Every structure is written in structure tokens, then in C-alpha cells.
Structure 1
Amino acid sequence: MTAITSTAIPLVPQRSWLLRPPGVYRPQDDTWMLADALRESGMPGGARVLDLCTGTGALAVAAARLGAASVTAVDISRRALATVWTNSRLRRIPVRLLRGDAAAAVRSGPFDVVLANPPYVPCPVPANGAARAWDAGPDGRVVLDELCSRAASLVAPGGYLLMVHSTVAGPGKSLAQLGEAGMTPAVIAARSIPFGPVMRSRAAFLEAAGLIAAEQRHEELVVIRADRP
């Protein structure tokens, strides 16, 4: 039998627990930063919410608890979607599941609020298996570039995107691309954290690629909010 771990999720109104089977991204600092940003964003009651790259569905659950009228959770991983189904049903929260990427989500939108914790870890080889949840090409922007270019199609007029990623993946590029797409973007939160196991294992590659300084073993996470006029 496959072991399943439980992960604490510090969301309003009280702590909850999410089932997470092996191969599904574990909610961690970037997840909690995005959850906090959502809580502080002034999301209107009755909002249509998209949770892109949903993983366990932590953010989908948070959005539903904060009063979203509908929540759509998207991921390329069948195992992740099965996990979201379980976690949402345990809480009696209706979540629509969609397998795919940003392009697939466009066909189901637009949405009032889009949440995105996409893969952003630079990787010298194509992602495969569970690593698809974090590996994102040589510069960490394989998914970010597509998401930024499609943001205006995903977000309804008057709505907004909340996205988190590491500064290793170039937030300046994200801000520029979102602006070019007709959005009004800004960094609204930042936090420095020590490298986790994946980033530590990539340190030599990241240094050689000029993505981090010599001996750097920490990264800064940023949350970007992009409003659609």
C-alpha cells in the first residue's frame, strides 16, 4: 500500500490537514506565502477562482474557505488531481478538476482570481515524473513564460493574478511580460529562505549558469499580483 503523509496548512479559520501521496508537490513556503497573499488580497465574495498547478489543492481549499463561489483546480498530474478530489471531498468543498496547463485553463475561463505556484526551479535536463512539479527548464521559465503571456486571457476584467516564484527565475521578466500582456503587475511580498534539497542539489549548475552567486545557499521568494484593468 502507498504511504500518504499529512501536511499542516495554516489557513483561516483554523489549521487543517491535507493528504499528500508520494509524487505530489508538498505545500511549503511558497504555498503559504500565496495563501497569505490571497487572504490579504480582498477577494470578493462569490469570486470565480482558478488554482493553477494545484498540487494537493491547498490553495483551492483556501479559496473556497474564503468565500469563492467556484474553484477550478488545474494540474498536469493525474495523481495531483486525485489528491485534490480527496482533499476537497473530505471537506465537502466543491472543486472542479481540470487536467492540463494554462492553455487548457483559458478555455474554461476567464476567472476573477487566478492563483499560480508553477514550477520554477532551473534544471539542465527536461523534467519528468514527480519533478514536473518543480523543474522548469534551464532558466526556470518554461511554465512562467506561458503563464505570463496568457494571464490576460485567464483573468476577467477587474480581476487579478497572484503568482509566486523564486528570484532565481527572474521576477523582472515576469513583471515585464505581464505588463506587455496588458496587466498591471507588482511584487507584493518577498521572503528569503534557505535552499531546500532540490536547490542544494542544483547549486553547482545554478552557479555555473550565473543564476546565483558563488556559495549562495538561500533564495528569495516573491509574490506577484497582476491586475487586469
Structure 2
Amino acid sequence: MLLLRPPGVYRPQGDTRMLARALRRAGLPYGARVLDLCTGTGALALAAARAGANATAVDVSRRAVLTARLNAAVHRVPLRVLLGDLAEPVAGETFDAVLANPPYVIRAGASGPAPHSRARAWDAGADGRALLDRVCAEAPRLLAPGGLLLLVHSELCGVHTTLAALRAAGLKAAVVDRGPEPFGPVMRARAAALERHGVIGAGQRHEELVVIRADRPCRP
């Protein structure tokens, strides 16, 4: 699907493709309620909607929300797109599946970007977990009984930390996909700083991406 993407909106790439593949493998039934957090261009929400899901997309960026709405209109796909911080716009609602491709690029040794910076499309603070920890904490409230979370991020942000957080919240969590990804422009620009802080090895210019699936039990 060709998507419009203005400057400042995250470009669908390897992590998006991995999450879309995991969504297909999940085999959600027709009409499943799907929430796409940090939607960007709306790529994942649109993929879910085209497969028959009742999809909702959320992003904190007005530019991203307008982009997702425009992409839905261009492709004539029914999609609810909401502006807000993570799950705030859908407070009180539950979903059969939650998709999350939040910003996870590490800003070693420094604080996060300014609230309205374009960098917030990828920048996730000193350890890359500024949004990841929030997704893990909010997932149980968003999932209907038997619902599932599909979350993608870099191994550099702590895969075991994510798994432990989701399991502590009562979800059954495991890595369901992984693969190498060459550094893009942002990571290449930060490589020297990441090496100095011991986040990556000397000369390392790739990272492994992981997709984590977390399921809410049908019964308490």
C-alpha cells in the first residue's frame, strides 16, 4: 500500500513490516477490535482494517493524525483516527488486539526531545523506554479477555525488561519474531555516543528488532 508521509511522520520500515507480519499470523477474526498506538502514517491500522478489523489509530502528533486520516480516505478504508497521548483517547474501551510500534531510539546520556520536536517520532529518551514502559503498563487495561498485544522494539532497549513488565502485569508474553536491521540515519548519527555509553559494540551498525506478543487470559 502506497502511503503519504510528510516530514516529521515516521516512515514505515522494517519494524512496521515485522509487526504487520505478526498481525497476519495472529489470525484475528473478522470484525475484531484493533487499536494501533503511535500510528504514524496509519500503515498498521490500515492493514488491520483491510483485513476486516474494526480499527482505531491513535497518535500524539497532529501531523500524524492528519496523515493517517488522509491515507485512509485515499485508500477508502474505514478507520477511526484519534489525537492523543497513547491510550488516553480510548479510555474505558477494550480491544481484541493492540498494536504498538512506539518510539524506541536511545538517546544515550541525554533527556528526550522537546515535546513538539519532529524527533519524538523516534526518540525515546536516555534508555529508549520512555514509551515502552507506558505501553507495558497500560496494555492490561486495554485488552479484552483473550486479547493480545503485539509490540515491536529494538533489543537495545531491553527485551527481558519488556517481557518481565508484561508478565508482572498478568499477561503471557513471549518473543514471536526477530530480525536484524541496519542502522538508519538517526542511529548512525548517534552511533559514536552509543558506543561511548556501552550501548553498542565498537563498529556496530545494526540492531536486532523483536516482536513481542502478550496475551490476556480469557479468565482471571
**Same fold by TM-score greater than 0.5:** yes
Q: Please tell me the residue identity of whatever aligns with 2:68.
A: V
> Where in structure 1 are there 5+ consecutive unaligned residues?
1-15
Q: Helix, strand or coil: the match of 2:8? A: coil
| Preserved contact between residue 50 and residue 71 of structure 1 (Cα < 8 Å) | yes
1:127 CA drift (Å): 1.6
Could you state the TM-score of these two structures normalised by the residue count of structure 2? 0.93
1:122 CA drift (Å): 0.7
| Preserved contact between residue 175 and residue 213 of structure 2 (Cα < 8 Å) | yes
Moved over 2 A (4+): none
- Residue correspondence of structure 1 range 66-77 to structure 2 within 5 A: 66-68=51-53, 70-77=54-61
1:100 CA drift (Å): 1.6
| Preserved contact between residue 118 and residue 134 of structure 1 (Cα < 8 Å) | yes
1:188 CA drift (Å): 0.3
Confirm whether residue 144 of structure 1 aligns to residue 144 of structure 2.
no
Q: Which moved more, 1:52-61 or 1:194-203?
A: 194-203
What's the RMSD between the two structures over aligned residues? 1.1
- Residue correspondence of structure 1 range 53-92 to structure 2 within 5 A: 53-68=38-53, 70-92=54-76
Q: Please tell me the residue identity of whatever aligns with 1:165.
A: H
| Preserved contact between residue 19 and residue 151 of structure 2 (Cα < 8 Å) | yes
Q: Please tell me the residue identity of whatever aligns with 2:24.
A: R
Aligned equivalent of 1:127: 113
Match 1:173 to one of 135, 153, 161: 161
2 CA distance for matches of 1:57 and 1:72? 9
Q: Please tell me the residue identity of whatever aligns with 1:215.
A: G
Q: Helix, strand or coil: the match of 1:55? A: coil
Confirm whether residue 156 of structure 1 aligns to residue 144 of structure 2.
yes
| Preserved contact between residue 38 and residue 59 of structure 2 (Cα < 8 Å) | yes
- Residue correspondence of structure 1 range 15-34 to structure 2 within 5 A: 16-34=1-19
- Residue correspondence of structure 1 range 113-124 to structure 2 within 5 A: 113-123=97-107, 124=110
Return the structure number with greater relative CO, CA threshold 8 A, min gap 6: 2
